[in-house]
Amino acid sequence: MNSSLLSLTPARRVDADDNRPMTAKCVMVLGTTSGAGKSWLATALCRHYARQGLRVAPFKAQNMSNNARVVEGGEIGSAQYFQALAARAMPEVRMNPLLLKPERDTHSQVVLLGQVSAELTALPWRGRSERVWPQIAASLDALRAENDVVVIEGAGSPAEINLMASDIVNLRVARHAEARCLLVTDIDRGGAFAHLYGTWALMPEADRALLRGFVLNKFRGDAALLAPAPQMLQDMTGVPTVATLPMWWQHGLAEEDGVFDDRETWTPTLGTGVSSLPPEGALAPWGGPAALGRPPVIAVVAYPRISNLDEFQPLKNMPGVRLRWVRSPAELSDADWVVLPGSKHTSGDLAWLRAQGLDRAVAAHAARGGRVLGVCGGLQMLGEALIDPHGIDGNAPGLGLLPLVTVFAPDKTVRQREATFANLHGAWAALSNVGARGYEIHHGQTAEHSAMAAAGDRAHAAMPDGLAWQNAAGNVLGVYLHGLFEDPAVLQALFGATAPTLDAVFDGLADFIDAHFAPGVLSSLID
C-alpha cells in the first residue's frame, strides 16, 4: 500500500462539474447492545455499496478488541480490516484510528493510528477522549474526501448515558459526519422493542433525527407475528423498522469478539469455489476420514485473553472439519489437534491454563503423539520459560513442549510476512516447503534454550528468522505467523481442500441484506 494513503491531509477529490470538493455520504450502524450485529451489518453494507460501483471505506473511531490485523502503518481492528476488503478498499490505519487491546479487566493497551501509545495507555478512560478526538475527526474527514460512501460502525450502545460526555465513537461521530443511522438490535435475546425504544428515548433529541431506520436482527419464525409492534414503535418514535433479518449462523464471517459454536459452520453453496474433500477411502493429510472414521476434531483453547481468534474462521468454514473451542481437559479427550492461539497476556493465560488443568491435558495429548500447534502467544507458552525484564507481560515457566525461551522486549513487532516452511517431519510433514503469508504482532522474542541445545535437546527451525519451531518427535509446532489458515496453499497442504473465499462470504452478506431490507432503503441512505 502506498504510504500516501496514511496521510491525514490527502489531496481532496474535486467534482469536475462544479469544482467543489466531493464529500462522501456516511451511513452509520448503531446497536442497542454489544453483539447486536453492528460489525456484520457494516461489512454487508460495505460490499453492497461497492457493488454499485461506488468508492467505499469503512470507519470505526474506537474499537476495543484483541483481534487485530497488520496494515501499512501498524495495526487496526480485524472488523475494519474485513470491512475494507468487503468494500474493495485497501485496509489502512485511518479506518480505525483508535484501538484498545484489553490486557486485564481494568487495563488496555492503546493503539493510535496503528502505533502503541504508552502515554495514552497511562491515561484514565475519560481523560483520553479530547486528546484523541482531533486525530479521529481528521481520519474520518480524510476518508470522506476520498470516497463516495463511508460506512461507520458504532460501539456498544449510543445510549450509555454514563459515557455520553466523553463519547468519541457513537453520537459525536454521527453528528460530525452528518450520518444517516441505522439502529440494530438482537431480537433473539428478547426485549428488542424495549431496547429500540429505550435507546431512542435516551438519545438527545437532536441526535434522534439522524436515525433513519430500526433493524431487527437474528429473528426466528414468522415475521408476520411481529405486527403490530413495528408500526406502534414508529408511531411512538417516528422511526420505521426497515429490515427484519432472519437468524443466519452460516454467513461465514468471523465473530469479532466472541467464540462460535457448531451452528455457525459455513454451508457451502454452488459457485463458491470450495474444493471437495479427498475421495472416500483416501488418506487425507491430517489422517482424515479413512484413518479416523469421522471428521478431524480441532480443539482451540479459549483462554480469557485470547487474541486474533478470527484467523481460525477458515477452519470453521472448511467442509469436513470440526472446530471446537475448549476450556476444560474433558473437551480435549477426542481432539486430533490441540491449538494454543494468540494471547494478549501470555503469562496470565498460561496461569489460567494451569488452573484449569489444561497444561497436563495438553502435555498428555502431545505424549500420545497428538498434534499440538501454538500460534504467537501459544508458541511462547510451548517453550520452557517466559522472561520479562521490562514488565511487559510477566515471568512464567512454560509448558516445556519445545526447548525454547521467550524474552519480552519493549518494542512490539508488527509486520506482514511471507515465509516458506523448511523440511518438516512427523505429523506436520505436509507443510514442508509450503510458502505462507501472514502477519506478526508480538513483544516476545523466542530462541532456543541454550543449555538444552548444548545438551543435545534442540528445536527444529521450521521457518527462517525464528518464525516457527518443531519438536524432535515432529508433532508439536509453534509459529509466530498469524493467518496461516487464511492461506489457500496451507489449507491445501493440510486438508487437501480449501475454504470459501472471502469474496464469496462478502457477496453472500450483501445478497442477504438486499433480500431482507425494505425496497429502496439502502439507496435512500446515500441519496
CATH label of the domain that carries residue 76: 3.40.50.300
Print the domain residue range for 77.
Answer: 3-8+23-252+507-518
Which residue intervals of 328-399 are DSSP H helices? 346-355, 358-367, 377-382
Q: Name the burial class of residue 16, with classes exposed (0-12), middle (13-18) and buried (19+) by CB atoms within 10 angstroms of its CB.
A: exposed
Q: Residue with C-alpha cell 437474528?
A: 218
Q: Residue with C-alpha cell 503423539?
A: 369
One domain for residues 291 and 185: no
One domain for residues 228 and 279: no
Residue 273, pLDDT > 60, answer: no
Window from 31-40, 44-53, 110-119, 507-516 with minimum mean pLDDT: 110-119
pLDDT of res. 130: 87
Gap between the Cα atoms of 37 and 32, Å rounded: 10
Residue 225, pLDDT > 80, answer: yes
- Amino acid in the structure at residue 59: F
Gap between the Cα atoms of 54 and 60, Å rounded: 19
Residue 164 CA: distances (Å) to CA of 9, 108, 153: 29, 20, 17
pLDDT of res. 108: 84
Phi, psi (5° rounding) for residue 121? -60, -35
251 a catalytic residue: no
One domain for residues 290 and 208: no
**Structural contact between residues 139 and 15, judged by C-beta atoms closer than 8 angstroms:** no
Query: What total number of domains does the chain contain?
Result: 2
One domain for residues 431 and 309: yes
Residue 87 CA: distances (Å) to CA of 144, 177, 407, 504: 14, 19, 39, 13
Band (pLDDT 50/70/90 cuts) for residue 14 is very low
Residue 336, pLDDT > 80, answer: yes
How many residues would you count in the chain? 527
Kindly state whether residue 44 falls inside one of the protein's structural domains: yes
Residue 430 CA: distances (Å) to CA of 74, 178, 433, 494, 522: 32, 53, 9, 6, 47
The active-site residue out of 176, 365, 482, 516 is 482
pLDDT of res. 374: 97
482 a catalytic residue: yes
Kindly state whether residue 301 falls inside one of the protein's structural domains: yes
One domain for residues 450 and 323: yes
Kindly state whether residue 524 falls inside one of the protein's structural domains: no
- CATH number, domain with residue 372: 3.40.50.880
Residue 498, pLDDT > 70, answer: yes
The active-site residue out of 195, 376, 442, 516 is 376
Task: Write the pLDDT tens digit of every residue in 181-190.
Answer: 999 999 999 9
Gap between the Cα atoms of 66 and 152, Å rounded: 20
Residue 209, pLDDT > 90, answer: yes
One domain for residues 512 and 491: no
Say if strands 435-448 and 404-420 run parallel, antiparallel, or are unpaired.
antiparallel
Q: Is the dihedral of CA 348, 351, 356, 361 positive or negative?
A: positive
Gap between the Cα atoms of 78 and 306, Å rounded: 14
- What the block records as the C-alpha cell of 451 is 543449555
The total of other beta-carbon atoms located within 10 Å of residue 227's CB is 9
Residue bearing the bigger pLDDT, 29 or 129: 29
Residue bearing the bigger pLDDT, 118 or 398: 398
One domain for residues 343 and 211: no
Residue bearing the bigger pLDDT, 276 or 301: 301
pLDDT of res. 22: 57
Residues in contact with 520: Cβ distance below 8 Å, sequence separation at least 6, in sequence order: none
- Mean pLDDT over residues 223-249, rounded? 94
Kindly state whether residue 429 falls inside one of the protein's structural domains: yes
> Is the bond preceding 228 in cis, omega lying within 30 degrees of 0?
yes
pLDDT of res. 40: 94
One domain for residues 188 and 312: no
Window from 37-41, 160-164, 286-290, 358-362 with minimum mean pLDDT: 286-290
Phi, psi (5° rounding) for residue 42? -60, -40
Kindly state whether residue 257 falls inside one of the protein's structural domains: no
- What the block records as the C-alpha cell of 163 is 459515557
One domain for residues 477 and 447: yes
One domain for residues 416 and 305: yes
- Considering 20-29, 292-301, 443-452, the range whose residues carry the highest mean pLDDT is 443-452
- What the block records as the C-alpha cell of 482 is 498469524
Kindly state whether residue 527 falls inside one of the protein's structural domains: no
Which residue intervals of 293-442 are DSSP H helices? 313-317, 346-355, 358-367, 377-382
Kindly state whether residue 84 falls inside one of the protein's structural domains: yes
- Mean pLDDT over residues 70-98, rounded? 94
Kindly state whether residue 262 falls inside one of the protein's structural domains: no
One domain for residues 228 and 331: no
One domain for residues 167 and 289: no
- Mean per-residue pLDDT over the chain, rounded: 87
